[in-house]
Amino acid sequence: MDKCPPIVYTCAVTLDQKIAAKKARVGVMGLGYVGLPLSVAFARRGFRVTGIEVDARRAGQLRRGRSYIEDVPSADIQRLMREGFFEVRTDDAALGRLDVVVICVQTPLRKTKEPDISNILSACGRIARRLRKGGLVVLESTTYPGTTEEAVRPALEVGGLKAGRDFHLAFSPERVDPGNPRWNIENTPKVVGGINAASTRSAALLYSQVISRVVPVTSATAAELVKLLENTFRAVNIALVNELAQICDRLGLNVWEVVEAAATKPFGFMPFWPGPGIGGHCIPKDPQLLTWKMKTLNFEPRFITLASTVNGLMPVYTASRVARALNEDRKAVRDSRVLVLGVAYKPDVGDHRESPALDVMHLLAEDGARVSYYDPFVPEVRAAGRVWRRAALTDALIKAADIVVILTAHKAVDYQRVCLLARRVFDARNATAGLRGRIERL
């Protein structure tokens, strides 16, 4: 596995000793849904952490002790800053005194579905100018297999230091699940793969200080593929059950009943649930990263491509089902009052990145519907150049709607009240299971 001479032994010992004694200075570049919880986790365990955030507005909020991530309490930010374990900077001056730098920047797709690693390369360029000999750099941003070796490594080596000889380099995929009350950074197993054995060892030692179980793999590329497999697995199975929902519609069956019954089998089956599409920053994107990489190697991953197509068309199918329900009431989509409940991409969080609800709203609005929405966690959304602001979920609003469309099933919503007051409900999430009313389900 070692492709380079190992780092000079005294440097490796110094870094590992610093990590074990919690004397290593840790930097985290990018304080979003991944970087901020990770920074706080290290700071809670006694590491001195510098968070580097280029968004001045976000940095200002954190300096005032205000968290913008649901899973990170503002009180924790305030305490850790007060005790000197956490600081936030917008400049790179601190990079020169850090022993460890973890890159947690966004990796979006271009409109052409190609990966955009410009944020990663920008972070690497900033690190390279101040990189310390004997240090450790870890990439956590989700990306295509080979990024660490093919792009990150040369970008960090421009300053003259060589990865695997002068500093450690590894990849460790983030496994953050916003709003999950059971699994967090500390108790979710952490996969780590370095460019050589020494890099893997130091990165594993680092994460073992804050995470209960660390899983080393043989290379950074293997660790990159682990992440893509996890989310591609979900995307493919969601596509299967989304197609099953359409099959059940044509057969006059209840897809929720079918999946629930199948899930009683104690072996060989894992339930997945249909919906109006897939959302969030990872599941829609990650299969595309793998598809792009394989096409560069002259291989067409047909199964993954098909799953992405099925999931991508679910907002269109959902909007068509809403139109069909309105038609049964002798109403056209145009000028119908449509009330959407839930625009976040998953229940009980405010994260609406890539939410399929936004696509459904846009499609209905394009066809002339008067769309409003309520989401207890999202005060405002922007989609297709338009701004929607949250309406108050009053009895009058529910009664006035020609149809109420449930796109995200937040527990805070009283669906019994909605079903009793609404003229008609289309439920894409089975939030109304067991309730009475004029309800049609996906």
Query: What's the CA gap between 389 and 380, in Å, rounded?
Result: 4
Q: Which amino acid is at 172?
A: S
With a CB cutoff of 8 Å and minimum separation 6, the contacts of 144 are 115, 224, 228, 289, 290, 292, 293
Of the residues 104, 248, 282, 419, only one is catalytic, namely 282
Tell me which H or E stretch contains 269. Answer: none
282 classed as catalytic:
yes
- Cα distances (angstroms) measured from residue 355 to each of 47, 88, 139, 351, 388: 36, 30, 26, 8, 14
Element (H, E) at 144: none
Query: Residue by residue, what is the 3-state secondary structure of 298-337?
Result: CCCCHHHHHHHHHHHCHHHHHHHHHHHHHHHCCCCCCCCE
Distance separating alpha carbons of residues 131 and 98, to the nearest angstrom: 8
3-state secondary structure of 92: coil
Sign of CA dihedral 399, 400, 405, 409: negative
Residues annotated as part of the active site: 282
